[in-house]
Amino acid sequence: MYRLAQDIRHALRQLRRSPSFAVLALITLTLGVAANVIVFGVIDALFLRPMPGIGEPQQLYTVQHDEDIWNSLSYPDYKDISDRNTVFSSMAMYRPARIGLGQNESAQPVWGYEVSGNYFDMLGVKPALGHFFHAEDDVDPGGKQYAVLSYRCWQERFGGNPKVVGTTIYLNKYPFTLVGIAPEQFRGTERLIAPEVWVPVSNVMLIEGYNWIRNRNDSNAWVIARLKPGVTKGQAQANLNTIAGQLAREYPNNDEGLKLRLTKPGFLGDAMGVLLADLPSP
């Protein structure tokens, strides 16, 4: 303690002799602390906290292709996994896409999600206004041309007018019935891609121009799943290993060597890095 006191007195004498250095040191220290606070705040908001607006998010996992560059699955594989698994209470798929919102020259490119009809129901999200579409609205061919807007899009592009619900909006110049508005806190299932609009994936021809959902070779779907109560991640992984083996044998031209893995949701599988998938839960 005596040596510590001496060191402190010596430091204070040096600071009095060089006030400009003291100010510079204080500014440097302040900036360093502020930068750390900002960085850890961003990490906490983006990576550690559960995604907002979703019911019981701790039960959610992404089911990903372990060797595809984007870790996505084909739609037929998603349907087979959904039908055969015994560990998930429900599964849904989504695909971010750029969509033109509006007519003619006034159309604005926005981020949207093509989703399975059960997407909102599976996540436990409730509409702020109107209603969501459901599984029966998402049938290929013949799916409903329904759309749901984000709360922010509704406020900024439609002035928060409640009368817009039930009217026709245009996506890629095609008419869609606007059935509902998502709650303000819900920003989709990707942390860095917040959609302004959601549509049933059965409208893929209108959104992307070709029907990849019929092709087991097209790995374009990101899949999110909710564990059944009491089921562990290890048990779910074992069940996925069994299903992957079955699909590899049944569809050797498409799924040979298929490996499936569970990761944290919100990072396009592991496309944003394996480290993010292994971050601890809050």
Give the pLDDT confidence of 38-96 residue by residue, as tens digits: 333 333 344 445 677 898 999 999 999 887 666 899 999 999 999 999 999 999 999 99
Structure tokens at 123: 């996540």
| Of the candidates 278, 279, 95, 74, the residue with the CA atom closest to the CA atom of residue 199 | 95
pLDDT-derived band of residue 146, with 50, 70 and 90 as boundaries?
very high
SS (H, E, C) 158-190: HCCCHHHCCCEEEECCEEEEEEEECCCCCCCCC
Higher pLDDT, 31 or 184: 184
Which region, left, alpha or beta, applies to residue 219 given φ > 0 means left and ψ of -120 to 50 means alpha? beta
pTM to 2 decimal places:
0.79
pLDDT-derived band of residue 196, with 50, 70 and 90 as boundaries?
very high
Give the pLDDT confidence of 197-213 residue by residue, as tens digits: 999 999 999 999 999 99
Coil, strand, or helix at residue 101? strand
Which amino acid, residue 190?
E
* Residue found by looking up tokens 């048990």 in the block: 235
Give the pLDDT confidence of 232-245 residue by residue, as tens digits: 999 999 999 999 99
* Residue found by looking up tokens 């509902």 in the block: 180
Give the pLDDT confidence of 119-133 residue by residue, as tens digits: 999 999 999 999 999
Q: What percent of the chain has pLDDT over 70?
A: 76
CB 120 within 8 A of CB 248: no
Residues 6+ apart with CB under 8 A from 34: none
Q: How many residues does the chain have?
A: 282
The partner residues of 197 in beta bridges, in order of sequence, read 112, 149
CB 150 within 8 A of CB 132: no
Mean pLDDT, the chain, integer: 85
| Of the candidates 248, 210, 250, 228, the residue with the CA atom closest to the CA atom of residue 61 | 228
- Cα Rg of the chain (Å, integer): 25
